[in-house]
């Protein structure tokens, strides 16, 4: 997931990432500041930072840390579900003008361990193949986790659909019984009324 969004000074922006359990999530971000004179987004001034908070589906805070204007954060999920990733600048009037706009570039990678090319080049060919093989095995494990998570979600959705259909069926039966009861009561009331008036 790669995106950018605009944010005000000290304004908190959050995104939701659906992550399987036991999965590494790596986020890279860069903050740019709006320059009113040049009418463009420029590289951030020194001292401007981002406060990153990550909350699990059970509302537990997994990460809460202040970073610089450009950085990398990571966390490992221990529950499957929607994780909330929030970013908020620590800008002040000393760092940037009050009310100035910020542009935040954010790149989130789920379940990826990046190859360090310098390490790969420094090793001989056998170690390089071994290193790349381990990385491929990790990716296969991640794909397997993703598939299992999707199967779990599909099963939950199916159960929810079946329960909803069952509830609709019972509600229709209850409505039908109520209508029949009301009809019988109305017929009996009319019959009693006609008898009392000696019309039948």
Q: Two tokens at 182? A: 């009301």
Q: Is 156 exposed, middle or buried (0-12, 13-18, 19+ CB in 10 A)?
A: exposed
Only one residue has tokens 């001034």, namely 45
Q: Two tokens at 141? A: 């494990």
d(CA 170, CA 191): 31
Threshold 0.85, pTM exceeds:
no
The answer for 111, left when phi > 0, alpha when psi is -120 to 50, beta otherwise, is left
Each residue's pLDDT tens digit, 60-101: 999 999 998 888 999 999 888 899 999 998 865 444 444 568
CATH T-level fold of 2-113: Jelly Rolls (2.60.120)
Lowest mean pLDDT among 53-57, 133-137, 182-186: 133-137
């Amino acid at each position: 997931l790669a995106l950018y969004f605009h944010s005000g000074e000290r304004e908190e922006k959050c995104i939701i990432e659906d992550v399987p359990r036991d999965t590494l999530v790596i986020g890279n971000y860069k903050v740019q500041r709006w320059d009113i004179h040049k009418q463009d987004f420029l590289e951030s001034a020194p001292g401007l930072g981002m406060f990153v908070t990550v909350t699990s589906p059970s509302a537990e805070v997994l990460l809460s840390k202040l970073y610089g204007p450009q950085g990398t954060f990571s966390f490992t999920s221990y529950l499957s579900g929607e994780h909330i990733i929030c970013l908020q600048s620590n800008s002040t009037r000393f760092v940037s003008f009050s009310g100035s706009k910020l542009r935040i570039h954010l790149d989130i990678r789920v379940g990826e361990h990046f190859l360090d090319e310098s390490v790969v080049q420094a090793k001989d060919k056998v170690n390089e193949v071994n290193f790349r093989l381990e990385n491929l095995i990790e990716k296969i494990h991640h794909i397997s986790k993703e598939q299992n998570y999707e199967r779990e979600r599909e099963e939950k959705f199916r159960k929810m659909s079946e329960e909803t259909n069952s509830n609709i069926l019972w509600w229709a039966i209850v409505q039908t019984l109520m209508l029949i009861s009301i009809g019988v009561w109305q017929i009996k009331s009319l019959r009693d009324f006609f008898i009392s008036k000696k019309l039948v």
